[in-house]
Amino acid sequence: MFTRCLRAEFYKMKRSPVTISHIIIPILVSAVFLAYYASSGWEEIDKITAFYQALGSAFPVLIGIFVASTMEQEQNAGAFQNLLTLRSKTAALFSKVVALLLLGLFALLFTAVLFGSGFNMIHEQSSASMGVFVIGSLVMWLSAIPLYLIFEIFAFVFGKAFAIGAGLLSGLISALFLTGLGMYVWKVVPFSWATKMPDAYLVYELADRSALSQIKSQAPIYLIVVIVCFAGYYVFAANYEGSKISE
């Protein structure tokens, strides 16, 4: 049932703005940063770190927008009745978040390949291999899994404006926590992980191997939060009876 729902979800997203955005945005973002870095005097490590920090700050905002768009699609297609009349609305709701997760993974890996290839062309003796860019994007995707689940609940319960607002707030928190403000608390604030977790990986890979201890201490917290979010989403999906949102 889940596989059928997932196929149907991708079919509905075919040629939609959400799908197209996951292709166009990586191209534009990579092109803008590479064009600037081609003439910038920054150190290599600073360039890579700044790119992933900017990407991580924007990613939660985009997640909020994409989640809101998929919710609005269901709302416009019969006020959620198409969803509620399915044999398993739990499978249908999980297929929505999984479809967005897979699109997000594709977009981030696509960005890593585009940016990494261009960066290594600009810096022929770059200290960062393609693997660093790919793993950095994978870490960012993993860090955002709780956001997809939380924002999906927000969208279907409170509406698209709430989900978009949550994305904007999360992006702001991600950016603020790059300063000393989040030095001691970021590990327990999932809304900051899209910047802080890739940043910790890049520090470990490119600058300071002792950062491994920071990554290890974050791992159990991350796993607990992800499990709780998936459990919470399951409870939400199993008990969802439609929305009275009117926007």
Span 114-152, pLDDT tens digits: 999 999 998 877 778 899 999 999 999 999 999 999 999
Tally: H helices and E strands in the chain: 9, 0
Compute the chain's Rg from CA coordinates: 19
Of 182, 213, 209, residue with least CA distance to 195? 182
pLDDT at 240 over 90: no
Residue with tokens 């198409």: 82
Residue-level pLDDT at 130: 93
Residue-level pLDDT at 47: 94
Q: Whole-number mean pLDDT of the chain?
A: 89
User: Which amino acid, 32?
Assistant: V
User: Which amino acid, 55?
Assistant: L
Please enumerate in sequence order all residues whose Cβ is within 8 A of that of 134, keeping only pairs 6 or more positions apart, or say none: 109, 112, 113, 116
Distance separating alpha carbons of residues 157 and 216, to the nearest angstrom: 35
Residue-level pLDDT at 244: 53
Q: What does the pLDDT look like over 32-57, one tens digit per residue?
A: 999 999 888 888 999 999 999 999 99
Q: What does the pLDDT look like over 2-24, one tens digit per residue?
A: 788 788 778 888 888 999 999 99
For 112-127, letters b (16+ CB in 10 Å) and e give bbbbbebbeeeeeebe
| Percent of residues, the chain, with pLDDT higher than 70 | 93
Instruction: Of 115-129, 153-167, 213-227, give the lowest mean pLDDT range.
Output: 115-129
Task: Tell me if residue 147 falls in helix, strand or coil.
Answer: helix
Instruction: Of 170-174, 233-237, 238-242, give the lowest mean pLDDT range.
Output: 238-242
Q: Categorize the per-residue pLDDT at 247 as very low, low, confident or very high, splitting at 50, 70 and 90.
A: very low
CA distances from 230 to 147, 152, 153 (A): 11, 11, 11
Number of Cβ atoms within 10 Å of the Cβ of 227: 10
Residue-level pLDDT at 220: 95
Tokens in use for 42? 């920054």
Q: Categorize the per-residue pLDDT at 239 as very low, low, confident or very high, splitting at 50, 70 and 90.
A: confident
Tokens in use for 239? 């008990």
CA distances from 124 to 29, 110, 120, 121 (A): 21, 21, 6, 6
Tokens in use for 105? 């993974």
pLDDT at 79 over 60: no
